[in-house]
Structure 1
Amino acid sequence: MNILSKVNRKTSLAKFIDRDKNLERTIGTKDLTMMGIGAVIGAGIFILPGTVAATTAGPGIIVSFIIATIVCSLCAMCYAEFSSALPVAGSAYTFGNIIFGEITGWIIGWGLVLEYMLSVATVSTGWSAYLQSFLANFGIHIPKALSANYDPSHGTYVNIIAILVVVLISWILTRGVQSSAKLNDIMVLVKIAIIIVFVVAGAFFVKPSNWNPFMPFGVSGVFHGASLVFFAYLGFDVIAASAGEVKNPKRTMPIGIIGSLVVCTILYILVSVVLTGIVSYKDLNVSDPVTFALQLIHLDKLGMLISVGALAGMFTMMVNMIFSSSRLIYSIGRDGLLPKGLSKIDDKRNVPKHSIIFVTIVIAAMGGLFSLDKLASLVNIGTLIAFTFMSIGVIFLRRRKDIKNDGFKVPLYPFLPIVSVIACIYLLLQLPLDTWVTAAIWFAIGLAIYFGYGVKHSRSNK
């Protein structure tokens, strides 16, 4: 068999289901929806509506979120169809492997590795900063040397809190899916409750005059705002990574993916409506617009509650991203493209313990030692590449007579998948050149690993 045939070989769905047989299906609809909300809603809900309104969309940020939701919904429906038809672990990596072939699946997976791990590492540093600020209110201070990433010129050597929170979450995940799901459910409910408290309390101080003019930057500003807030929804795709551990995936996966997106949309719009109603959009270009608005209406103590909400939001996001990272690495190891030890399932807890340990080491090192500010935009490119492949992949999925799907299907086929592809490509073209250059280096490294190790050890090519 020549190299071209090897790298483009498509693995059957039956083989993937057989490889995942040691995973236990314990995740229900409620837990899956909570996972999606936990992954999508982070500290950004208290920041993004204010800064984008101030600089790009004005009160029209409300419409921006609606437009972004429509685009995300197209991608979400494509993921929902794939998850219904292919109930196996690995998300877009495994889907791509079955539909397009191994090398395409690898490229998608390599992009998702970047998305998941880098996003957690970045958020872990933000969580550390929030916690340090919160503790400072009580006179508790972390030694400077342990407060931030390695930068001897400024007296910092390691971000110990960023490392510890990643280790804590990973330990929770090794205790089993049910234990981590229960904790995630609690934290998500806390986060939603705090958001509702802000919306209800703030509603009494809304001044409709602050919504006039509604679109100060014009229609183009609203659409530009939509391209910015689109990334606030990233995370719903991580639900697909758990397909191998979900009860009745044909029903549960579509409800979890689309349901979490609906809830998140409602929360984003409510916060945007109240925030721009309390404060003129011109004054919201600050690092903490929600806290700023609460100070303006003399509800300073509620600002402390918002900090708790932000901490809870980032914590649940990390829980779900680390969970998904470990399942992605497990899936790649399962297929032989990375060392097969990464796919070993713990007999007691039915979790891929080795892959959890691996992602913990990588993420903790990134978050604890390195400055990730310039790399954060790479999360977007990895996600959008996966979205593009999944959107166009629905067309190829429908043509596969060997894959039967009596569950969810994207409506208005093939029109909506094609629109989704166009929307994803448009957003990819909005990313800056330096992001593309860095991404090209990342994917070149990935191809070197694939051709140097993956092709030789691939289970599909044996």
Structure 2
Amino acid sequence: MSYLTKKSFESVREAGNTSGLAKTLTAYDLVLLGLGGIIGTGIFALTGFVAAKYSGPAVMLSYAIAGVVCIFVALAYTELASFLPTSGSVYTYSYVAFGQLFAWLVGGAMVLELSVAASAVATAWSGYAVSILEAGGVHIPVAYTAGPLNGGIVNFPAILIVAFVAFLLYRGTKDSKRVNAILVFIKMAAIAVFVFVAAPHFEITNWDNFMPYGFDDVLLGSSILFFAFTGFGALATAAEECKNPKRDLTIGIIGSLVLSTVLYIIVGGLATGIVSFELLDNSQPLAHALAVNNSKIGSAIVATGAICGMTTVIMMNIYAQSRIFYVMARDGLVSKHFAKIHPKYDSPYISVLIFSGLIAILAGLVPLEVIAKMSSMGALIDYIVIMMVVMLFRIKMPDVVRSFKCPALFVIAPVGLLACVYLLFKQIISKEGELMFTGELLIYWFIVVFIVYVIKTSFLKTKKPIEKVI
């Protein structure tokens, strides 16, 4: 039965070596891509939302918890990515481990993690861009800067930034990685400016009510902040474009994640230390915090850095999503058009264009809070799968050479798995034990994904996968 068909380990390796994607990425490129994919909306927008609604100054603790869990996941992720380098990432790992149906459902989770995340980032990008324009005397009607659920018609700036990123990715990794590197340096400089300008205004009294809503809400804040770390997983989708994937992926995934976690904690502490956490519930919390302290120049620099930072996150998410569907098309699970490579730019251009269009529509119509939570849940599901797969592969294929082995795997992986399950549960079930709105959306999403799979495999003819199956 095709539902249980598995891909062979050898076929995945062979496909990765003959993919047709240009191998242009080094370890340095991957660290920059990782920072580009991770540091964005989380630090520039969600810090304020989580601090105001859930954690207070303990947003530092929320970031630390999410970061530690992600580091556990990253250690397992890196072992998989280094010994089974494939642009399919978690989708392909689960195909080898559990079979086609499970891989299809994981692909559905990755759409939430990546495409929905890109939509959320584009929405936050719009908030910063509009504020900069207004500071310069340019006022855009709310009807064109917010979706229908927020009192507008369409969020046009969000659509515009997605279109710009799609154009870069259409032209392949060589051009997009160059733009990414420039934008990463700008946003890191902006974060440095925030730290330098904010530090003299720090007042410990702003931390007096350090955990205003209790530790339970700090954990809920952590589950939402998983959205801020999803970029590190996207690096695994670059495996087939790395010059030395075994070495480079290890450096890229772990290095970018550790650096990002440290920055998140520092910025979260300073943001809640220079203003009361209640004032951070807006679309541009870091810039607003500096403006409250009469640092308008610093505020403008941070806003500019935020725009650059969120642009790189959108770029990395669309990049990763297009590569996953490239592999799914290569396997015969989706239309072969997703696997078409541009003859000049060596990019899966049809995947890029299709997902960019869907992301633009979602960003133009849906509020940030809903899509950020949905993306976090998708990421948590993928991390749960990663922990399961890495333990299974270590048991079933202990002799396969691994350039990186997760230390104390059978301690780290179970702890990480349980932590991800618990944090996912926090977003699905309310304190009163009732299914939350986002939990309902998650269930409906996977029902639709499953129905599409059944219809596709039962009634539609699809081409055979390129790789051999067992």
Match of 1:267 in 2: 263
1:383 and 1:7, CA in 2 relative to 1: closer, same or farther beyond 3 A?
A: same
Deviation by residue 1:231-290 (Cα, 9 ceiling, x = unmatched): 322221111111111121111112111111111112112212322332344654555432
Match of 2:30 in 1: 32
Q: CA deviation at 1:352?
A: 1.0
- Aligned partner of 1:269: which letter? I
Q: Secondary structure in 2 aligned to 1:431?
A: helix
Match of 2:377 in 1: 381
Count of residues in correspondence between the two structures = 456
Q: CA deviation at 1:122?
A: 2.6
The answer to whether residue 251 in structure 2 is matched with residue 248 in structure 1 is: no
Unaligned runs of 5+ in 2: 429-434
Distance 2:50 2:148 in 1: 31
- Aligned partner of 2:110: which letter? L
> Please, which of 320, 323, 327 is the counterpart of residue 324 of structure 1?
320
Distance 1:390 1:68 in 2: 16
Deviation by residue 1:7-48 (Cα, 9 ceiling, x = unmatched): 212212332333341112211111111111111111331344
Is the Cα contact below 8 Å between 2:6 and 2:469 reproduced in 1? no
Match of 2:173 in 1: 177
Structure 1 residues 435-454: aligned runs within 5 Å: 435-454=438-457
Match of 1:89 in 2: 87
Match of 1:168 in 2: 164
Q: CA deviation at 1:367?
A: 2.5
TM score, norm. by length of structure 1: 0.90
Match of 2:427 in 1: 431
1:400 and 1:226, CA in 2 relative to 1: closer, same or farther beyond 3 A?
A: same
Q: Which moved more, 1:23-32 or 1:366-375?
A: 366-375
Distance 2:82 2:277 in 1: 42
Deviation by residue 1:38-77 (Cα, 9 ceiling, x = unmatched): 1111133134444444454443333332222211111111
Match of 1:100 in 2: 98
Unaligned runs of 5+ in 1: none
Distance 1:44 1:114 in 2: 16
Distance 1:93 1:194 in 2: 35
- Aligned partner of 1:62: which letter? M
Match of 1:64 in 2: 62
TM score, norm. by length of structure 2: 0.89
Q: CA deviation at 1:223?
A: 4.3
Deviation by residue 1:338-371 (Cα, 9 ceiling, x = unmatched): 0112101123222111211221222223333555
The answer to whether residue 410 in structure 2 is matched with residue 407 in structure 1 is: no
Match of 2:355 in 1: 359
Q: Secondary structure in 1 aligned to 2:409?
A: coil
1:132 and 1:296, CA in 2 relative to 1: closer, same or farther beyond 3 A?
A: closer
Match of 2:431 in 1: none
Distance 2:353 2:115 in 1: 13
Distance 1:51 1:341 in 2: 40
Give the percent of matched residue pairs that are identical in Structure 1 and Structure 2.
36
Match of 2:417 in 1: 421
1:411 and 1:218, CA in 2 relative to 1: closer, same or farther beyond 3 A?
A: same
1:228 and 1:256, CA in 2 relative to 1: closer, same or farther beyond 3 A?
A: same
Is the Cα contact below 8 Å between 2:326 and 2:348 reproduced in 1? yes
The answer to whether residue 312 in structure 2 is matched with residue 309 in structure 1 is: no
Match of 2:132 in 1: 134
